[in-house]
Chain A
């Protein structure tokens, strides 16, 4: 992208965020400090509920089995084995993380509305944005815990494999643990952005619509550079539509370091943190919009 154009977009983005904050300040400013305990309480019960339902346990067990099963490819050279373990492990973390993000993001709020458990909460001195943020923080903790466990298992498998093949004369086994952890953290950050957007949709759409939209967003968000190239070569209304999609959808591919890490290609940590900062700004806007939409929703 043209750097000048990017700067204009960045400033416009800041103006939009400032505008939203200014317009909605009456809704949250007076009790922003008071809101934190409520947000934390709702986040905690969201996490506790997910733990009780034991769905997460099943996901983690499945991923652990997949990771351990990959260690059976003993005919590969240590280097190839490391590449396969890292690539497969990070792919498993990403895929299960995305599935979990989609279902957590799409169901948390609609399920409470459908089951009417939201009644007893909103009848208490809880602002609706506190409820939305509480649910989001809860989702972040759930995703964080699952990604952390899956990453720990992957790191453990790599470390064990490194130890087992240490005496072999062939090419050295490179577990690239730092890179794996970095890629997993980036993957988690992309899940955080995706979950916020899914929650925004869930405040206005049905659960089915939200789940379908979530898969589309994930696909579009992961193909942003291709969409940009298409937009550059397109003309007229198509160009406009593609540019709108490019700028509105989250840039999830900026968080994807799996290819570099598994192929031992050098990567820029700086570009990772830039993606995180951009993602945080994007998530902030999305959560403000989700709070506004949920504030007007009749439950």
Chain B
């Protein structure tokens, strides 16, 4: 499969939940067009209730779309053959809690019809991969949150899936657990897996993802690589030392200067001559220029800006 080929595709995917109280229905997913390419790590981010988990549940056949279509590996999602090639990590690791890691992996591998020998081999391999060999016989309910998430990831890998669907893989984990999970995802990425990831943790998304889609009120409101989404950096930050109050007043009057505070001058949308004019003003006032940077907007900035614009 070429790297540009879409492994997962949705067209106008819509899910409306209707009830007696809301006969008109609540649109959880609204005309979603999503395309995940082979080998990439794609992250869907969005606030609570934006339709991320609903989308994943539709893709896994747990719930059914009201309209639109979805395909994985070019087949309809209802096709059982699709599930031979995907792995799913549910949010909050819902597995039978009275069984140990090795029993759970054995059970889930059995659902693929693997022989006892292969199941034993998988138990060893996967528990080693997720760092659970030493705790292989600990019942799931006695595992820490991090151990549970790692076991849930192991069960998602029993069929060596080409596509991994991860729903909030680091939810509820402490920083160490989050780091471990992120490293595991990166390892899977290195092994060539296509990954669709839903997450609230933007730092983790930045670390592992090739492309990001921002969902809001069931719609995909922005999509692209991190640099696509961040756009061109328009702000320049000049860190100075030794400028007096009079120089600060003078700098603040220049049209491109947005803010001068604690020796840090922020300028926006400045061309080269305007930048030089600011630098000369600092120099003329006897100040020193310590650093000039052009910070790019973070995913957090993009996220907040996009959601803010959509909310308006």
Chain A residues with CB under 8 Å of chain B are 31, 34, 37-38, 41, 45, 48-49, 52-53, 115-117, 119-127, 298-299
Contact = CB atoms under 8 A, between A and B. Distances in A.
Interface residues of B, number: 31
B80 A115 contact: no
Contact of A37 (B62, B88, B113, B165): B113
Contact of A119 (B60, B81, B87, B159): B60
Given A52-B98, A117-B94, A119-B90, A124 B112 contact: yes
A117 B96 contact: yes
B80 A120 contact: no
Interface stretch (B19-27, B103-111, B120-128): B103-111
A38 B60 CA distance: 18
Contacts of A34: 113
A126 B62 CA distance: 12
A125 B62 contact: no
Nearest to B90: A119
B111 A299 contact: no
B94 A48 contact: no
Contacts of A122: 60-62
Interface of B: 60-64, 80-81, 83-84, 86-88, 90, 92, 94-96, 98-99, 103, 107-108, 110-113, 152, 155-156, 159, 165
Contacts of B96: 45, 49, 117
B152 A120 contact: yes
Contacts of B155: 120
A124 B108 contact: yes
Contacts of A126: 83, 111
Contacts of A127: 80
A52 B84 CA distance: 30
A298 B94 contact: no
A48 B99 contact: yes
Nearest to A298: B63
A283 B180 CA distance: 49
B107 A116 contact: no
Contact of A123 (B86, B99, B110): B86
Give me the 8 closest cross-chain CB pairs, A-B, nearest first. A116-B94, A123-B88, A52-B98, A298-B63, A124-B111, A41-B110, A125-B83, A119-B90
A39 B83 CA distance: 17
Contacts of B62: 119, 122-123, 298-299
29 contacts: A34-B113, A37-B110, A41-B107, A45-B96, A48-B99, A49-B96, A49-B98, A49-B99, A116-B90, A117-B94, A117-B95, A117-B96, A119-B62, A119-B88, A120-B90, A120-B95, A122-B60, A122-B61, A123-B60, A123-B61, A123-B87, A123-B88, A124-B83, A124-B112, A125-B84, A126-B111, A127-B80, A298-B62, A299-B62
A121 B95 CA distance: 9
A125 B62 CA distance: 12
A38 B83 CA distance: 14
Residue from A34, A45, A117 having most chain B Cβ neighbours under 10 A: A45
Contacts of A45: 96, 99, 107
Contacts of B88: 119-120, 123
Contacts of A38: 111, 113
A116 B92 CA distance: 10
B112 A119 contact: no
A118 B103 CA distance: 17
B94 A120 contact: yes
